[in-house]
Structure formats: C-alpha cells, structure tokens
Structure 1
Amino acid sequence: MPPGLPTGERDTLPFIQYLLHRLRDDLHINSIFGVPGDFNLPALDYVEDFPGMKWIGAVNELNGGYAADGYARVKGAGALVTTFGVGELSAMNAHAGAYAEQIPLIHLVGLPSTSQLSSSEILHHSLGHPHQTLLYSSFFKEISGSMLVVSETTRAEEIDRALEIGVRRCLPVYIALPQDLVEMPLKKEGLSRPLVKDIDNLSAAEMRVISEVLGLLSSCSKPIIIADAGASRDNISAEVSNLISSLPTWPLFVSAMGKGSVNEQHPSFAGTYMGTLSLPPVRTAVEAADFVLSIGALASDFNTGFGSMDFEGKVVVELHATWTSVDGSTFPGVGMKSLLPRLASSLSPITSSAPIPPSPSLSLPLPTIRPASDKFVRHAYFWPRVEKWLREDDVLCVEAGTSSFGAADVRLPRGATMLSQWLWASIGFSVGATVGAAVAAAEGFQENTKKRKAEEEETVASNGDGADENGGDGEAKGRRRVICVVGDGALQMGIQEISNLVRYNLGATIFVVDNRGYTVEKYIRGITREYNAINTGWDYSSTLSYFGSASSSSPDSSASSVSTHVLNTESEFDEFLTTEANADPGNLRFVIVRFEDLDAPRMLKMMAGKMGRMDEKGNLVEGGGGLGGLRRGSRVV
C-alpha cells in the first residue's frame, strides 16, 4: 500500500480520503487552494487534517484557481476547492484558462446534500428555481477533460478514471461532491494500483509513422525542431530532452508557449520563433529549413506571431499527446509520449545542415554600456538586464500583455520555468499564479530535479546569461526563486493575493511595471481613451505593510526578508539587481519600476507597426487598429 494509507481490519476509507491519497501519492500534490463555503466545509476538515497536505486559503476563488494553475505548472498538477454556485462560478475563468492552456487542475466543488439536491427546496447560491441545483455543473462540461458528479453509487474506479483522463490529456478535472457523501466508504484496495498516466501506442501504427517520417526526411537536408506548448504539458520532459540529445545538429527553437520546456542553453538552441515578430536571425534560420519537427504545436494567434509563421514549402511533422500529423496526414491514437523515444532512436543518425544563429544574437544586447540615471526605465533595458540576472531553475511568471511580449525575447537559463497565458490571456493571472508557484517552490526541488536529470549536462555561455553575475548551482541554494513581472493594471485586478505571500511566508520577487495604464490595449486602440486608464493614485510602496508584513524600505535589501523598493531609473534598477543577485530565494521583494507611459517591448512595437498603429518614426497614432488588421500568412504581414 502507498505510504500513509491507514491499516487495520477495515477495507474501506472515506471518499474524501481516497481522493486525497490519489492527489498526494499519485499526482504529488501537497497543497490545495480554495475558499471555504458551507457546502465544502465537511471536505475541508479532512483536507486540513490529512498528513502531507496543506490548505492554502485563497483571497477569492478566481485567484485560488490561478494559484492552483501556477502550482500545477511547477509540480505537474494542482488542486482547487470551491463551493456550490457562487464559488465554482467565481473560479470558472481560471478553470477555463487551465483548459485552454492544457493544465491538469483538479477542481473539487462542495455540493448540497443528496437530499437537498433531490428536493424542491430553493437553496442559497441557487438561481431561485427548484430542481436546478446541478445546473452549474453542466456549465463546466465544455471546459473540463473529465467530470464526476458523485452519487451514492460512485465507485473508486470512477475517481481514478476521471483523474487519469485529466492527467493524460493535461486538462482540468471537475469533481462535484455532495456534503453528505464526503465520508461515503470506498474500498481502499484500489490505491495499491497506481494511476495510469500514460498509454502506449499500437506498435504497428508507430512504425508506420516513423517510416513515413524517414521517407520524407530522405529528400530533406535542413531539419529543425520547434518545441511548443505541449512540450511542457504532457509529462514528456525526459523524452523531449532525449530527442534533443539524439539530434545535436538539428537547430532547436521554441514558440512563446514552449518557453521553459527545453534547455535554452543547449548548444543547438536557436531562439524563440514567432513568425515575423521573431528576432531577425531566428526568422532567417527557420525560413532556411526544409523540414519541421513540431512538438505539441498550439496555433493560436499570439503564439504564431499572428499567423505569420512561415512553413510554406516545408515538410511539417506535428507530435501531439493523442495524435500525430505527418505532412498533412493524421494518425489518431499515436501519442508523442510513447512515440518520442522510438522516433529519437530512428532519427539519431540523421544530421542537419540548417543554420544555428550565433549565441549572442539570441539575446537582446543592453542598449547602453551604463544604465541611464536621468530617465525612467525602458523595456529595451529592462528585459536584457533581467535576462542577465536570471539564474538556473528560476520560475518566471509574466502577465499577459506587455510583460509576456517582453519575456518572449528572454533566453532562459537551464532548468528555468516560464509561466504565462499566451492563449487564454486573462489579465490578472500572474499574481495568483505566482502564489501557487511560490508554494510549489517551498515544497522542494523534487519535480524540477527530475527535469534537470533528464536534460543535457552540456551548457553554453551566452552574453548576458547570468552565469558570471549569479554563479552557483540553483539546486545547491535549496529553493527555486520565483519571479513575477506584472503591469500596474493587471496588478490592480489580483493584488489581494499578495496577502497570501505574506500570510504563508512565501518567497517571491514581484516587479510592477508602473506605466500608468493598460499599455498593451493602448497599442491596439485608444491611446488617450479613458477605458485604457487606471487609478494611478495607488500607493504601491505600502502594499506589503498593508497586507501585514514588517516590510523594510531600506536600501540594503539584505537587511530584511521582506522589503519594498521603488526604482525610478535604470541605474537604480541595475543597482537593485546587482544587490539581489544572490539573495535568499525565500525573501519577499515588492519592486515598483517606473517606466515611460507608452514605452513597450520590441515585439509589442512590431505588432503595433504591422497593425498600422505606429508611424515610420515609431510614434503611436490614434484611430484604426484592432487585431483584425493582422491577417494570417507571413506574406501578408
């Protein structure tokens, strides 16, 4: 039996304990996020008392969902508990985001009792109509990988099946539990069988795919690899790393959603490819290829540089969790978890003559030798300087919009993880996700160590990779650093969750991009419109103290484990990063960085130029705009 499983004469245990054993022992979840409500309180008693499990009380359900999402991206899966109606619907946006972004989030909803559900009683949290108490559960059908509404006849195997489907497909699992069934007995013998997280492909189908790929490669000389969203979602880090090691001459690219899925310090790493928004050497290298091996592609507008990825005239092989496409021919049921090792073995003798851009060209150079001391911070300085400051195994969480466009150009250190919502793009995600990531980081290094062992030991030094400034092995420092970059507008949506960083003594560094409004929206439309404005009167410097910390504003940040910093110039920003380079990852830093109001990262400016929102002098212009101005196809944009 798994460790911690109760022994004795009884061969059953309560429903909720069975589920908690699965979450802890099979999915490695040691913290559960959520908000208490009368219908989930019986379950929460068990959660709080369960060995090896910690309850993290979110400020609200939406932030709790974001936190569970961030936790899952670091540890592999996350869990959220809400209550019937008001709680589950409040978390629905985060649940949908996990579905869109392919995140295994286990969402447990406390329901009224079975007798209440079957009666004509009008319950609180309902819409005021009898016999509609399960209406909300139906709302989640289209945004869940699997669903289970627990009844008196539910068996342990049904819990296992729901969890297995969610984990295999990297999608949310919705479990609705009536409060009187929390202690319903289930046979505990099922726990002796581990969850089936992977399914082998049919050997004949795999061999046919490999044969097709080899046949197409026989007429190609410049194959490349692009690691996309699925490369970090489907528990395939080891398989992807092995493929990269087997094909050392194949240039390795990542998409925006693929960042953090591979070692960007590997000798074959060739940059982040987002079509015409890519750095010029990266775009040139991809367009020179004749064969593309794509791992877990997700062709959203942002992820493809607004449809500008140019694969015209190339052979494209797409590997996905449950299917494979070979130059337009689809092979359902051939998933990459099983296929990748066999494919790596078959492809290893094949070399590529496709160009790999020189390492320095994959990082944006600092625009000045010395930071400016008389002007606000510029994105052109901020992101290259952050890249130099990052160190191995960091967790970088960036907000959708200005921050994600800036982070796309950052070359990550070995073992680093990037959390962002390029597809769902829900403004306000990053602060809650940072809480979840910080909880996961505090729980230890186990999951990231597995990823690190699967990666190549070989690394390459690149300009600004942080090796000289930060040195040392991240693992030796004991805890991963968690870093968040969030705009002031997005911060105002989720700032309450910072209180949990204080409450649970969590370590994180939060950079607030103080540019006085929704800048990414201004670049799309409405530069001077009131709808893109925010309340700029917030006193961000008082945030941590307001939430209960003994925050220090001392220039010597090492004097306190919790501190607030207001940085108005590039020289102040540079000094802060120099001081904080080797600070304790358990420190909490709240850093307000003042930017020019309409300054933006390189990639966001390019987008505005392609939309006709920026003139030849680089100035934003009123009118026009809207993302509809960008049409698919690299020849158009």
Structure 2
Amino acid sequence: MQSVTIGRYLWQRLRQLNVKYVFGVPGDFNLQLLEQLDEVDGIEFVGTCNELNAAYAADGYARTNGIAALLTTYGVGDLSALCGVAGSLAEHIPVVMISGVPPMFAIRNRLRIHHTMAEGDFDNVRNAVRQFTLTEARLTPSNASQEIDRALRYCWQERCPVYLQIPSNLSYLEIAQASSPLTRQYASYDKRQHQLIIGKLTGRLCQAKHPLLLVDMDAERSQMAIQLQQLCDRYQIPYASFSTGKAILDESSPLWLGYYPGQTDDTLNQYLAKADFILATAPCYIEGSSMVATQDLPVEETIYLRGFDITFEQQTFEGICAPVLLNQLLEQSIECQFDIPKQPPQTRSSTSFEGPLQQSKLWEQLRHYFKAGDLILGENGSANIALQTVPFPKDCHYLSQPIWGSIGYTLPALLGSMMAAPNKRHWLFIGDGSLQMTVQELSNILQKGLKPIIVMLNNSGYTIERYIMGKSATYNDIPQWDYHLLLKAFAPDIEFTYQNVTTHQQLSEVLDALDETKASFIELKLSAMDAPERLKQFGPSVALFDYGPRGPQNK
C-alpha cells in the first residue's frame, strides 16, 4: 500500500471535496503545512490580513462552494479566528478549521513556549475552540487518516465547522494512502422510515386544496433547495420565505407569495388563513426576526422538515436525510389540483428617483439593477434589513449573517465567495461602520483582480445602534475616512472605479454606466438617522427586549 505524509493526506482529502482555496495566516506552527499544500495540485493558500478575516472568508467560500478550509497557528491564531468560526456554527456553515500546533514533545512535556499561557497547558485553546465546533481531534500518526476522514465527513454532512490540530513535528510523518477518494455523500438514513413518511406526505398532499411551503435558511444548508423548487414548480405549490431564508427559492415566480409573516391583508396571510398543508423547512426562530415563536402556524396542518428529522401530526420521525427524502417524493406520481392564489401583477415603481439620497427610495431604485444570477451580500444593519424584503430576480443568491450578526463579516465573506465563483457578478451592500471593522481585506479583493460592486452606506456611524439607543451619543460615531485614498493605498497598481454619490439622479447615472471590467466602489452619503422603516421599528423593539420597559432608552 502506498504511503503519504499526514499533511499531504489532509490537503488531498480536502481537494477531493472540491476545496480549491484554503484561507488563513502563516505562523511558525503551520508553515510546514503550507509547504505541503504546495505539493498538491488544484488547491492553493489565500493569505488574509488577519485570522478573523480568514474565518469570515472561509465562511463566505463555504456558502458558495459548499465547504471550506481555514488554516491558523496555535493560540493567537485560533482565538483570533474563533468569532468567525462561532458564526459558522450558529449559521450551519461547513468549515474545516486546521491549526498547526506546537510539536508533540512540547505538548507531552508541558513545555513553556510562545503563543501559550506559559504554564504548560495545551488543552485550554483546544477546549475553547471545542465549544464552537461540532467535533475536534489532535492528529497523531496512529489516528490521522481516521480522524481526518471522520471530521471531513462530519463537517460536510452535519453542515457545521470542525477543528483539527496538527502538531508541527508530525505532519511530515507518513501514513497509508487512502484506498478511495472522499466524496460529498449524503448522510445515511432509514429506508423504512422514508417509505413511511413518503406515504404520509403524499396522502396529505393529495387531500390538500391550499398547500403552502415556508422556507428558511437551513433548507439551503441542508441541501434541499433545488428539490423544494422542483416540487413547487411541478405541483404548483405556492411558497413564501422567512426573512432569514431570503432568495433560497425563486422570488420572481408567480408561486412566490412574499415574506412570512407578511402584512395582515396581503395575499400570503389571506392564503395562510385557509392553508390545509403547510411544509415549513427548518425554520429558525430568533428574537432578532419577527418569528419569535411558531404559535401563528396551525399545529395540525404544519409539517416541519429539517435535515435529519420531520415532525407532523405532533410526532417527530428521526433517521431521515431531507434531500434524499425530497428526491424520493419527486419520484412519486401524485394527482392533485390546488387552488392557487392570484398575485397582483408586478409593476415598475412610479417613485421619482430625484433629490438627496433617502433610504425610503434607495432600495426600490437599486433593485432594478439586479440581474438574474447575481450574488448579493447584505451586511448586518440597514443593508440586510432593507434587502430582506427586496424581491430578487431568478437565480439570485443572497448571503448575510442574520443569526450571529457580526458586523464587518460580509467584506471578507465577499472575498471567499468570489474566489468560489469568480465569474458570478457580486454586489456588496455595507455600512461605513461595518466596513471599518474588516476593511483590510479590500486589498486582497482588489489585488486578486476580483471585480465586485461594493456599495457603502456612509451615515457617519452605527445607525442601527442609534435606533436602539444613543441617537446623538458619541459612542455611535466612527472616524471619518477618505475611502477613495484608502482604495489607492490598498491597490496602487489596480484600476477600479470610485464614485461619491449624494443624490438619486447621480446614483442612476453611476449604475447606468457601471464598468464590470473593473471593481466598483460606490459611496452613498446618507444622513445619520436615515434608515429603512423596518430598522426604525426594529431598534425600539430591541431596546425593549434588552433593557425592559424601565430601561435607559425611555429617559
């Protein structure tokens, strides 16, 4: 049997899962792994400006590619990346976190060395990262092949980050080469359980007159978005999206009824009132959205489908694999006829896009420039809150971080996503406060020749926080930068376009003349308190939740 080094084995297995880029920062405990990475065809290292940005970039890459890898060095690198890894766990994103750690003799002999607390404890960092990953392992020659394969399969199938530590003096030791490639396989499931559930689902669907699908973000994470769209299209089943499940299904289809819970008198709620078959795919109820509880959905009519289980008739059935189950459902011959609600025809807005920029008109103006197939990133705050209710053209994809909500996430995530799909047009909408958190990664984006359209909302600080508390407080202010000069500093030899826009007329002119052969940076100048209406409502509700009715927001 052929042998291979531990490091090479790891990189080969990742490449077999279609990981082409590894994001991270070099450090003395992982340099040997970077040398070994160069030995494997089809996989490259992408050095980022810091480990937090690397974690965000890996997250963005995984959302577009399916799975990602992150490389850190022990201690300082691991803990710097941990916020980003925690976000991947919260949002069910498969990222393989690889840490080069001190040599095994140092660990065993509890030596006092750099990047540690200098007390000989080499488990404290491991224990910290363990809280935010699904599984972890410290590799040795005796366990490396088994643990690498176990962790990678787990990461892919469970859609969550995993953590591997590789002692720096072991990665060049040899182990047996794998006998077969690692593939993106679905998780195992119980065939009899599937047969039982298919029978129940087809029976319920055949009896229904007003079925409805409600889709949330884990429908995409659990790899069932394609099947759900096919199911709705084939049987003409109306569907709606949770705000955290934006653009997973086609928002341009006449079957799409909008965003749940919607308005009291809209088509969705009128149809929901008479729905007799509701399939809710992996809903995520958090206080930051309007879906705090499921109490508004009728118990008897609602079926909850998650990656590995399904609940209906107040009973949960384990041992399923959702994408396989839906494929099997699509193979059934179902005779049904539903009463489909008629949507009012969509008309182009009659809003006059003139005068100083205002968010009340901004997003309606922007949406007409989106094209089918665009990938759109919305940073937490004004951008994400506004974009959540802007319908997108067919085959658009939306990338945001609504649960973890770490500001600054989307700029490095843009780097990762564009490395995964460089030929797809990318838009990033981000506030000035968020941009300043992770702005260094603009240098990577520009110098790698990537050509995103970055739209920065410059409202001189943290507008979302101002609506929660401190409208005029200086703690919500940020330093004022010259972003044009900053771009030149980051990429002095790269051509890009920069525009400073203050009016709706200017914005139309800039967007009409977009040059997609270059990266574009569009700075929108907005007043500090200009915000989407939903944000204006969101802020006070957060203050009430966080501080209570006697909180300082009422002073």
1:539 corresponds to: 482
The answer on 1:323 being equivalent to 2:323 is: no
Q: Which amino acid aligns with 2:10?
A: L
Give yes or no for contact 1:243–1:341 (8 Å, CA) kept in 2.
no
The answer on 1:383 being equivalent to 2:363 is: yes
The answer on 1:179 being equivalent to 2:168 is: yes
The answer on 1:332 being equivalent to 2:340 is: no
1:170: Cα distance to partner?
Answer: 0.5
The answer on 1:574 being equivalent to 2:517 is: no
| Residue number among 198, 203, 208 corresponding to 2:191 in the alignment | 203
Tell which deviates more after alignment, 92-101 or 525-534. 525-534
1:123 corresponds to: 113
For residues 404 and 216 of structure 1, the distance between their equivalents in structure 2, rounded to whole angstroms, comes to 36
| Residue number among 373, 380, 387 corresponding to 1:393 in the alignment | 373
For residues 433 and 282 of structure 1, the distance between their equivalents in structure 2, rounded to whole angstroms, comes to 33
1:63: Cα distance to partner?
Answer: 0.6
For residues 229 and 591 of structure 1, the distance between their equivalents in structure 2, rounded to whole angstroms, comes to 29
Give yes or no for contact 2:450–2:519 (8 Å, CA) kept in 1.
yes
Give yes or no for contact 1:277–1:607 (8 Å, CA) kept in 2.
no
The answer on 1:66 being equivalent to 2:56 is: yes
1:355 corresponds to: 341
Q: Which amino acid aligns with 1:188?
A: Q
| Residue number among 265, 275, 280 corresponding to 1:289 in the alignment | 275
SS at match of 1:389: coil
Residue by residue over 1:40-64, the C-alpha shift from the partner in whole angstroms, topping out at 9 and shown as x without a partner, is 0100112234321221111000011
2:245 corresponds to: 258
1:522: Cα distance to partner?
Answer: 1.6
For residues 439 and 282 of structure 1, the distance between their equivalents in structure 2, rounded to whole angstroms, comes to 38
Give yes or no for contact 1:405–1:603 (8 Å, CA) kept in 2.
yes
Give yes or no for contact 1:213–1:317 (8 Å, CA) kept in 2.
no
Give yes or no for contact 2:285–2:291 (8 Å, CA) kept in 1.
no
1:260: Cα distance to partner?
Answer: 2.9
Change (3 A) 1:196 1:591: closer
Change (3 A) 1:101 1:205: same
For residues 283 and 492 of structure 1, the distance between their equivalents in structure 2, rounded to whole angstroms, comes to 40
For residues 148 and 305 of structure 2, the distance between their equivalents in structure 1, rounded to whole angstroms, comes to 29
Q: Which amino acid aligns with 1:336?
A: A
For residues 322 and 254 of structure 1, the distance between their equivalents in structure 2, rounded to whole angstroms, comes to 21
Change (3 A) 1:627 1:216: farther
1:229 corresponds to: 217
| Residue number among 573, 582, 588 corresponding to 2:519 in the alignment | 588
Change (3 A) 1:625 1:590: same
Residue by residue over 1:69-98, the C-alpha shift from the partner in whole angstroms, topping out at 9 and shown as x without a partner, is 111111111111000000010000000100
SS at match of 2:26: coil
Give yes or no for contact 1:241–1:262 (8 Å, CA) kept in 2.
yes
| Residue number among 176, 182, 185 corresponding to 1:194 in the alignment | 182
1:480: Cα distance to partner?
Answer: 0.7
For residues 278 and 173 of structure 1, the distance between their equivalents in structure 2, rounded to whole angstroms, comes to 43
The answer on 1:343 being equivalent to 2:343 is: no
Kindly report which structure 2 residues correspond to 1:49-88, keeping only aligned pairs within 5 A, or say none. Answer: 49-88=39-78
The answer on 1:240 being equivalent to 2:228 is: yes
Tell which deviates more after alignment, 72-81 or 296-305. 296-305
SS at match of 2:136: strand
For residues 426 and 196 of structure 1, the distance between their equivalents in structure 2, rounded to whole angstroms, comes to 29
Give yes or no for contact 2:202–2:334 (8 Å, CA) kept in 1.
no
1:196: Cα distance to partner?
Answer: 5.7
2:553 corresponds to: none
Q: Which amino acid aligns with 1:596?
A: S
Change (3 A) 1:308 1:227: closer
User: Which structure 1 segments of 5+ residues have no match?
Assistant: 1-9, 443-478, 552-560, 614-623, 631-637
1:330: Cα distance to partner?
Answer: 0.8
1:340: Cα distance to partner?
Answer: 0.7
The answer on 1:502 being equivalent to 2:482 is: no
Q: Taking every aligned residue pair, what percent have the same amino acid on both sides? A: 27
Give yes or no for contact 1:431–1:491 (8 Å, CA) kept in 2.
yes
For residues 264 and 141 of structure 2, the distance between their equivalents in structure 1, rounded to whole angstroms, comes to 55
For residues 419 and 181 of structure 2, the distance between their equivalents in structure 1, rounded to whole angstroms, comes to 28
The answer on 1:159 being equivalent to 2:139 is: no
Change (3 A) 1:147 1:129: same
Residue by residue over 1:564-603, the C-alpha shift from the partner in whole angstroms, topping out at 9 and shown as x without a partner, is 11111111111111111xx43x521111011222121232
Q: Which amino acid aligns with 2:491?
A: G
| Residue number among 472, 485, 489 corresponding to 2:429 in the alignment | 485
1:7 corresponds to: none
Change (3 A) 1:359 1:258: farther
User: Which structure 2 segments of 5+ residues have no match?
Assistant: 550-555
Change (3 A) 1:567 1:297: same
The answer on 1:405 being equivalent to 2:385 is: yes
The answer on 1:368 being equivalent to 2:351 is: yes
1:11 corresponds to: 2
For residues 193 and 279 of structure 1, the distance between their equivalents in structure 2, rounded to whole angstroms, comes to 54
Kindly report which structure 2 residues correspond to 1:439-454, keeping only aligned pairs within 5 A, or say none. Answer: 439-442=419-422
Change (3 A) 1:236 1:216: closer
Q: Which amino acid aligns with 1:441?
A: A
1:454 corresponds to: none
Residue by residue over 1:389-415, the C-alpha shift from the partner in whole angstroms, topping out at 9 and shown as x without a partner, is 111221111111211111111212222
Q: Could you tell me the TM-score, scaled by structure 2's length?
A: 0.93
Kindly report which structure 2 residues correspond to 1:276-315, keeping only aligned pairs within 5 A, or say none. Answer: 280-307=266-293, 310-312=296-298, 315=301
Residue by residue over 1:461-513, the C-alpha shift from the partner in whole angstroms, topping out at 9 and shown as x without a partner, is xxxxxxxxxxxxxxxxxx11111100111111111111111221211111111
2:20 corresponds to: 30
Change (3 A) 1:550 1:224: same
For residues 175 and 22 of structure 1, the distance between their equivalents in structure 2, rounded to whole angstroms, comes to 13
Q: Which amino acid aligns with 2:162?
A: V
Q: Which amino acid aligns with 2:253?
A: H
For residues 300 and 247 of structure 1, the distance between their equivalents in structure 2, rounded to whole angstroms, comes to 31
Change (3 A) 1:278 1:24: farther
1:331: Cα distance to partner?
Answer: 0.9
Q: Which amino acid aligns with 1:433?
A: A
Change (3 A) 1:243 1:79: same
Residue by residue over 1:181-221, the C-alpha shift from the partner in whole angstroms, topping out at 9 and shown as x without a partner, is 1122122233x243362134222212222333345456642
Q: Could you tell me the TM-score, scaled by structure 1's length?
A: 0.81
2:498 corresponds to: 564
| Residue number among 130, 133, 141 corresponding to 2:122 in the alignment | 133
What is the alpha-carbon root mean square deviation over aligned residues?
2.4
1:168: Cα distance to partner?
Answer: 0.5
